[in-house]
Chain A
């Protein structure tokens, strides 16, 4: 657990009484109800909940892609209301820029913020190497496999050196084998370059494999149902007794939906 020099736990993300309601002309749909959540610095938190429960909306509100109807979100002490480069986002489907090469995608953030070409190339190259894509710098996204595209997405988010990373079911569209591989990879990358990560998934195995802490969300309108500290050492084993025990326990309290 990360402490600052006064010995207190350093909170990186804090959600207080967050509510989100979507309005149309005739209807209002509450999606988040009174959600409180704290994430420590460099903690890997997985938001886990039933399908359509509003996990993605929680993530979008934390990232600033959507604004909360009421309540506050702070990241690193600053209140979040708009998207910004101090937060990185890895998307469900790869939201890569199809007209840019791998290198141009990864260096996009630094370029947008006006970093010199030499400097940002160097930085981008470091993260391309980190995610294992050396040799693919000049490929376009449509020339890469799904797993490789997600690696680009991760490198692109990392390259801006944000203090927190939000990941919205980034492996949801991958086949099972690639998914296992990417779960190992994301832990390898994260252990090398520690960041605060909030990772959304509806896959219980993925949640227990990745998380320092699994936050189980209720059905829509969603809020925190229960939290589990995952005390297993890494690298974890999917068939380990304790792993299966945690998996069964968490699965048993998740709300059922159709």
Chain B
């Protein structure tokens, strides 16, 4: 009986996730109750209750979902535009040596700069509103996606390209049917990294200058010495980040059936 349940991969996965989460919450609760940390660390029950209470009770001018939306909107706009540009540019660089030669040196100088280093300049150039956040998210996403799209476009197996040519395919057809599919798994790993970077960037920039968003919730919590508010902000970041990454994996699994499907 037990063995049969354990055979089902999903039962095992979800079961272990629930157990791990429960254990974590118990540890968390134990720390707040049995150590002196209680004053600085509200327990899990209190934090989750506050999380849901904030769906109706506003932080500042807006309720929690509105703050989530502020951050998400900044990400979605900056991330989408950056991904589109980076994928196209990365593939062009991977395909044409001249584009590679022109862009790569620039890219190699900009890449090691952590995107947060641009925050003061971004505010100076684009103001304290959303425009500077779009720019910062764009930058964080762009660097990560470009590198992977570039590697992906160069990963086309020469044997497969030869096979396609042997079968009568011309350059354009090879690009569509060989180069692009070869690049897709790379692009998705770039999109996944880009999402993490974008999410980190939006929170960081909201913590420095903003009037809404999950980063703002945390920094305002610090200003007001409201630990519960900081924890709710952190919890929100975790939950949204998890959902975004999971949906990205879903899309990837659909598009890359040939790499994920076993025998």
Q: How far is the CA of A87 from the CA of B167 in the complex (A)?
A: 8
Question: What is the number of residues of chain B that contact chain A, defined by CB distance less than 8 Å?
Answer: 24
Q: Which residues of A contact B166 (CB under 8 A)?
A: 63-65, 83-85, 87-89
**Cross-chain contact of B258 among A84, A87, A95, A99 (Cβ < 8 A):** A99
Q: How far is the CA of A87 from the CA of B173 in the complex (A)?
A: 19
Are A98 and B167 within 8 A (Cβ)? Answer: no
- Let me know if A113 is at the binding interface, CB within 8 A: yes
Residue of A nearest to B256 (CB): A99
> Which residues of A70-88 are within 8 A (CB) of B?
82-85, 87-88
Are B164 and A98 within 8 A (Cβ)? Answer: no
Q: Could you say which of A97, A100, A156 has the most chain B C-beta atoms within 10 Å of its C-beta?
A: A97
Q: How far is the CA of A61 from the CA of B258 in the complex (A)?
A: 32
Q: How far is the CA of A89 from the CA of B259 in the complex (A)?
A: 25
Q: Which residues of B contact A109 (CB under 8 A)?
A: 167-168
Are A113 and B168 within 8 A (Cβ)? Answer: yes
> B200 → chain A, closest Cβ, in Å?
32
* B176-209 near A? 1/0 per residue, CB < 8 Å: 0110010010000000000000000000000000
> Which residues of B146-166 are within 8 A (CB) of A?
157, 159-160, 162-166
Q: Which residues of A contact B170 (CB under 8 A)?
A: 112
> Which residues of A35-94 are within 8 A (CB) of B?
63-65, 82-85, 87-89, 91, 93
> Which residues of B49-103 are within 8 A (CB) of A?
none
Q: Which residues of A contact B257 (CB under 8 A)?
A: 140
Are B173 and A95 within 8 A (Cβ)? Answer: no
Residue of B nearest to A87 (CB): B166
Given contacts A112-B169, A112-B173, A156-B167, contact A97 B261 (CB under 8 A): no
Q: How far is the CA of A144 from the CA of B258 in the complex (A)?
A: 12
Q: How far is the CA of A134 from the CA of B6 in the complex (A)?
A: 36
> Which residues of B105-163 are within 8 A (CB) of A?
157, 159-160, 162-163
Q: Which residues of A contact B178 (CB under 8 A)?
A: 97
Are B261 and A112 within 8 A (Cβ)? Answer: no
> B41 → chain A, closest Cβ, in Å?
49
Q: Which residues of A contact B259 (CB under 8 A)?
A: 98-99
Please give the residue numbers on chain A whose beta carbons come within 8 Å of chain B beta carbons, in ascending order: 63-65, 82-85, 87-89, 91, 93, 95, 97-100, 108-109, 112-113, 140-144, 156, 160
> Lowest 10 A-B CB distances belong to which pairs?
A85-B168, A109-B167, A112-B169, A83-B165, A99-B181, A95-B163, A83-B166, A99-B258, A89-B166, A140-B258
Please name 5 pairs of A and B residues whose Cβ atoms are closer than 8 Å in the assembled complex, sorted by A: A88-B166, A91-B163, A93-B159, A140-B257, A140-B258
With A91-B159, A109-B167, A160-B168 given, can you name 5 additional A-B contacts, CB distance below 8 Å?
A: A89-B162, A95-B159, A95-B160, A98-B259, A141-B258
